[in-house]
Amino acid sequence: MLCLVLVALGSARAQQEETYTWQNFVDEISDDEYAEEQGWAESMEELAILSAHPLDINTATREQLDEIPFLDEGQIEEIHAYVFRHRGMRSLSELMAIPSIDYRTRRFLSLFLRADPAVFERKDTLNLKTLLRHSQHELLTRLDVPLYYRAGYSYPPRAGGYAGLPLYHRIRYQASSLNHLSLGLSAEKDQGEPFHRNRGWDHYGIYLLVRNMGCLRTAVLGDYKLGFGEGLVVNTGFSAGKGSLMNRPSQGIRAHRGTDEVNFLRGGAATFKVKQLDISAWASHRQLDATLGRDGTVTTLLTSGLHRTASELNRKGNLGSTVAGANLTWRDRGFHLGLTGYFQRYSKPLSPGSAPYRRIYPRGRNFGVTGINYGYTHLWFSLSGETAYSMGQQGRGGIATLNRAIWKISPQCTLSGSFRFYSYKFSSFYASALSENSRVQNESAATVRLDANPADRLFLTLYADFFYNPWPRYTLTHSSRGQEVTANASYALGRANSFSLRYQLKRKERSNQMQLHNRLRVGYTRQQGAHWQLQSYLHLHAVDTSRGLGWALSQRAKGQWGRGGFSALLAYFHTPDYDTRLYHYEPLLTHMFRFPSLYGRGVRFAAAARYALWQGRLVLEALYNLTRYTDRKSQSSGMQEIRSPWKQDVSVQLRLVI
Q: Is 107 within the bounds of a domain?
A: no
pLDDT tens by residue, 638-654: 999 999 999 999 999 99
Instruction: Provide the pLDDT for residue 198.
Output: 59
**Predicted confidence band of residue 1 (pLDDT cuts 50, 70, 90):** very low
More confident residue, 460 or 99: 460
Instruction: Provide the pLDDT for residue 216.
Output: 93
**Predicted confidence band of residue 240 (pLDDT cuts 50, 70, 90):** low
d(CA 226, CA 249): 9
Instruction: Provide the pLDDT for residue 250.
Output: 61
SS3 of residue 451 by DSSP: strand
Domain extent for 166: 128-206
Instruction: Provide the pLDDT for residue 125.
Output: 63
Instruction: Provide the pLDDT for residue 349.
Output: 95
Instruction: Provide the pLDDT for residue 600.
Output: 94
pLDDT tens by residue, 167-186: 999 999 999 887 789 999 99
d(CA 395, CA 425): 11
* C-alpha distances in Å from residue 181, one per residue of 128, 136, 591: 10, 10, 21
Q: Is 75 within the bounds of a domain?
A: no
β-strand partners of 507:
483, 516
Nearest residue to 396 via CA among 367, 358, 421: 367
Q: Does 118 score more than 60 pLDDT? A: yes
* C-alpha distances in Å from residue 81, one per residue of 75, 85, 88, 91, 413: 10, 6, 10, 16, 23
Q: Does 368 score more than 70 pLDDT? A: yes
Q: Is 199 within the bounds of a domain?
A: yes
pLDDT tens by residue, 246-288: 556 667 899 998 888 888 999 999 999 998 999 999 999 999 9
* C-alpha distances in Å from residue 224, one per residue of 245, 252, 265, 499: 25, 10, 5, 39
More confident residue, 493 or 73: 493
Instruction: Provide the pLDDT for residue 8.
Output: 41
How many domains is the chain built from? Answer: 1
Instruction: Provide the pLDDT for residue 11.
Output: 37
CA 491 to chain centre: 25
Q: Does 4 score more than 60 pLDDT? A: no
Q: Is 639 within the bounds of a domain?
A: no
Burial label for 22, CB within 10 Å (0-12, 13-18, 19+), is middle
Annotate 456-481 with three-state secondary structure.
Answer: CCEEEEEEEEEEEECCCCCCCCCCEE
Q: Is 195 within the bounds of a domain?
A: yes
d(CA 265, CA 283): 8
Q: Is 371 within the bounds of a domain?
A: no
d(CA 80, CA 86): 10
Instruction: Provide the pLDDT for residue 3.
Output: 47
Q: What count of Cα atoms within 13 Å lies in the side-chain half-sphere of residue 235?
A: 29
SS3 of residue 357 by DSSP: helix
pLDDT tens by residue, 453-488: 898 889 999 999 999 999 999 989 999 999 999 999
pLDDT tens by residue, 395-432: 578 999 999 999 989 888 999 999 999 999 999 999 98
Cβ contacts of residue 11 below 8 Å, gap of 6+? Answer: none
d(CA 385, CA 396): 24
Inter-residue contact 400 to 443 (CB < 8 Å): no
**φ and ψ at 422, to 5 degrees?**
-120, 110
pLDDT tens by residue, 560-570: 888 899 999 99
Span 361-377, average pLDDT: 93
Q: Does 620 score more than 70 pLDDT? A: yes
Q: Is 170 within the bounds of a domain?
A: yes
Q: Is 194 within the bounds of a domain?
A: yes
**Predicted confidence band of residue 512 (pLDDT cuts 50, 70, 90):** confident
